[in-house]
């Protein structure tokens, strides 16, 4: 691909101008530069320029999902146009610029769909529940392209779509996705959002066009930012990494004396990673992984799971597909789900479109055009494999619900809450304010990071020959249902193997 600013992924100003033009003048454009001023070496980054260039492409449109009682439900939603194989494995679809710029083909499902025909072929009816997972590392530059392919089941609608990173410290309102202060994307148009990654934490993202409708219809997903602490070089502690050439802090290319709270009074310092963290892998073998820049290693984990609490009102979805007026005041969820699935689909084995199945595989739905598509890709079965050295599982919990508060609980294994709304629980003196609990209540738009630690003697009965099963479930008892089905809803298993 040409490095010219006039290449098909190129000029930022051109893409931005296109977003403000009428729909008839728009066309699909995808942008993912090989290098930038902040990262002149490209996506890999350097000691002097930590982080890298990451990219992802999504479609805004419609589709169908399968509820745990077998009913199909209509969605407005986002679908993957890049990293499709990663998404189907329950992993983030975010990629390095090098990998993203390998165009989609039959042999490269992770490449980006660039040409209009490919964008339409892959994007139509591709809506997923929840929306494609995103993950970046601190110091990254993130280019996210949204292409609006239209609502095929509702040709009377001319819905615009945007992307809003909820609670994310976005420096520019132009890329915030609120249509009053930024761009909205018309059908047959694209827009490339630009973000930097300043703060580690768990966030979520959604469409900000008529939010009560578009969120209820399914246009919501999760984003998390991994900490700089994960990228510490071999044999280097965090204090050294933050303020030396091993991993210089942005804005301090020459390094400064460390006065940061992470560098003072915390012993022992975190262990160094054995390799650079890879953004599109949730569980890279051999890496030391942390949820936050903690300075003391207390947020270390072995395996992580996105846990997205959500619900659907089937009546609202039905009238959304059948050209009837939507009663916003009567909105009431009847399906309650974790990451787009209700129990027992959260733990069941599924048969995919190749005739094989596994518990952590995607759930497929037969769409109105006769094609079977991955509609609910994220697994909700939590596994901690002690025989593989795993003892700590990080749950990235976010409440994506429009109408309900949810209380999520465990029995037999407590949750160590380490962060609230993407902020590490620590006071101004640097003391940890983590706490253990068996229940956690979140409202729409809130998130929490919790660690399940099964290393203590309390779980000695959970041996390799005697595995244990615990449950993560809601104590809102009326939410343990799949519409009229009395048993199901917001519940999954925690398997200690």
Q: What is the pLDDT of residues 437-453, one digit of tens each?
A: 999 999 999 999 999 99
**Residues 310 and 405: beta-carbon distance below 8 Å:** no
The list of the chain residues with pLDDT below 70 reads 1-26, 45-49, 171, 232-287, 349-359, 456-465
Specify whether the CB–CB gap between 59 and 119 falls below 8 A.
Answer: yes
* pLDDT of amino acid 450: 98
User: Are domains 12-228 and 235-306+380-496 of this chain identical in fold?
Assistant: yes
Topology adopted by domain 235-306+380-496: Immunoglobulin-like (2.60.40)
| Residue ranges covered by each domain of the chain | 12-228, 235-306+380-496
Query: What is the rounded distance in angstroms from the CA atom of residue 91 to the CA atom of residue 68?
Result: 22
Instruction: Classify domain 12-228 by CATH number.
Output: 2.60.40.420
Asked whether 279 and 54 are in contact (CB, 8 A), the reply is yes
**pLDDT at residue 381, as a whole number:** 92
For residue range 25-54, list pLDDT tens digits in order.
458 999 999 999 888 877 776 666 677 899
What b/e string do you get for 435-450 counting C-beta neighbours within 10 Å, with b at 16 or more? Answer: eeeeebbbebbbbbbb
Query: The pTM is what?
Result: 0.85
Q: Are the CB atoms for 142 and 94 separated by under 8 Å?
A: yes
């Amino acid at each position: 691909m040409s490095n010219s600013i006039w290449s098909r992924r190129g000029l930022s100003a051109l893409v931005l101008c296109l977003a403000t033009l009428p729909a008839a003048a728009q066309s699909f454009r995808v942008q993912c530069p090989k290098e930038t001023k902040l990262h002149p070496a490209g996506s890999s980054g350097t000691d002097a320029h930590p982080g890298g260039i990451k990219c992802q492409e999504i479609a805004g449109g419609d589709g169908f999902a399968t509820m745990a009682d077998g009913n199909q439900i209509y969605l407005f939603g986002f679908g993957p146009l890049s990293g499709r194989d990663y998404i189907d494995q329950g992993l983030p679809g975010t990629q390095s610029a090098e990998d993203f710029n390998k165009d989609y083909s039959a042999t490269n499902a992770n490449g980006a769909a660039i040409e209009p025909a490919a964008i339409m072929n892959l994007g139509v009816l591709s809506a997923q529940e929840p929306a494609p997972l995103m993950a970046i590392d601190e110091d990254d530059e993130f280019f996210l392209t949204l292409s609006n392919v239209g609502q095929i089941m509702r040709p009377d609608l001319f819905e615009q779509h945007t992307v809003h990173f909820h609670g994310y410290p976005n420096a520019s309102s132009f890329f915030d996705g609120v249509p009053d202060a930024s761009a909205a994307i018309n059908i047959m148009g694209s827009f490339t959002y630009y973000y930097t990654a300043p703060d580690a934490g768990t966030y979520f993202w959604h469409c900000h066009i008529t939010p009560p409708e578009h969120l209820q219809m399914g246009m919501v997903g999760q984003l998390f930012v991994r900490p700089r602490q994960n990228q510490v070089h071999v044999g280097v502690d965090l204090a050294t990494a933050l303020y030396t050439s091993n991993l210089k802090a942005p804005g301090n290319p020459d390094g400064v004396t460390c006065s940061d709270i992470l560098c003072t009074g915390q012993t022992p310092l975190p262990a160094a990673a054995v390799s650079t963290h890879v953004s599109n892998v949730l569980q890279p073998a051999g890496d030391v992984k942390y949820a936050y820049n903690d300075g003391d290693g207390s947020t270390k984990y072995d395996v992580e799971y996105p846990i997205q609490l959500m619900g659907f009102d089937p009546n609202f979805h039905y009238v959304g597909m059948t050209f009837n007026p939507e009663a916003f005041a009567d909105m009431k969820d009847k399906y309650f789900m974790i990451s787009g699935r209700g129990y027992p689909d959260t733990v069941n084995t599924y048969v995919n479109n190749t005739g094989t199945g596994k518990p952590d595989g995607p759930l497929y739905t037969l769409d109105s055009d006769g094609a079977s598509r991955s509609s609910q890709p994220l697994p909700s079965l939590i596994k901690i494999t002690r025989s593989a050295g795993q003892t700590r599982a990080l749950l990235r919990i976010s409440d994506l619900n429009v109408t309900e508060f949810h209380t999520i609980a465990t029995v037999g294994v407590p949750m160590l809450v380490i962060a609230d709304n993407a902020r590490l629980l620590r006071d101004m003196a640097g003391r940890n304010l983590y706490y253990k609990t068996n229940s956690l209540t979140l409202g729409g738009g809130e998130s929490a990071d919790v660690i399940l630690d099964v290393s203590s003697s309390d779980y000695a009965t959970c041996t390799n020959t005697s595995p244990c099963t615990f449950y993560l479930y809601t104590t809102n008892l009326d939410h343990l249902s799949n519409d009229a089905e009395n048993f199901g809803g917001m519940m999954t298993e925690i398997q200690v193997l």
